[in-house]
Chain A
């Protein structure tokens, strides 16, 4: 990846962390004052390196783990703010990045995190081995 790709990746993550639900190349370019064609090329390189997953012909971010760029049934809630997550793990991961709160799955509270302690501390089952995560990231 180029230094520009690193900057694009960081801009994407900053937008998601700010609470932007829909991150596309036009928004990234506009926010940073970059050329859209260069951002589009960077999006493709980042996707090729599995830093992102894209939709809409590569113009929009589907996943920038742990954030989801599309509505899902999983959310992380911190205070009066919330973020879509790709799965229950990612909802917890968002809390690990942004602060104490709740991980919501399928409309129900799944976990609370307070000062780094998760409750309830139930078991989570993963079915895809680590080396196969990106074989089908949507399924994973």
Chain B
């Protein structure tokens, strides 16, 4: 993937990580985050029918 995509994904992925009330995304939420940045398909699937 392009480095810019990796950076943009990181902004979403790590948003709030320093906060006490941060909680990790669910598998479905993570897949949606990947898809938002064009990262789809089996390589990015975390759920049985996702990716």
Contact partner of B18 (CB less than 8 A), chosen from A14, A95, A121, A129, is: A14
Residues A97 and B34 in contact in the complex (CB < 8 Å), given A92-B10, A130-B46: no
Q: Interface code A16-57, partner B: CB below 8 Å = 1, 0 otherwise?
A: 010000000000000000000000000000000001000000
Contact across chains for A10 and B19 when beta carbons are under 8 A apart? yes
* Per-position binary interface string of chain A over residues 98-140, scored 1 when its CB falls under 8 Å from any chain B CB and 0 otherwise: 0000000000000101001110111110100111000000000
The total of chain B residues at the interface (CB under 8 A) is: 25
Which residues 2-42 of B have a CB within 8 angstroms of A? 2-4, 6-7, 10-11, 13-14, 17-24, 30, 34, 42
A96 within 8 A of B: yes
Contacts of A6 in B (CB 8 A): 20-23
Q: Give the distance in Å from the alpha carbon of A13 to the alpha carbon of B24 in the complex.
A: 14
CB-CB < 8 A to A7: which residues of B?
A: 20
Count A/B pairs, Cβ under 8 Å: 73
Option from A51, A116, A123 in Cβ contact (under 8 Å) with B7: A116
A111 near B3 with CB under 8 A, answer: yes
Q: How far is the CB of B29 from chain A (nearest CB, A)?
A: 13
Q: What is the CB-to-nearest-CB distance from B16 to chain A, in angstroms, rounded to a whole number?
A: 10
Q: A10: which of B6, B14, B18, B46 is its contact (CB, 8 Å)? A: B18
Q: Is the CB of B2 within 8 A of A130?
A: no
Chain B residues engaging chain A, CB cutoff 8 angstroms: 1-4, 6-7, 10-11, 13-14, 17-24, 30, 34, 42-46
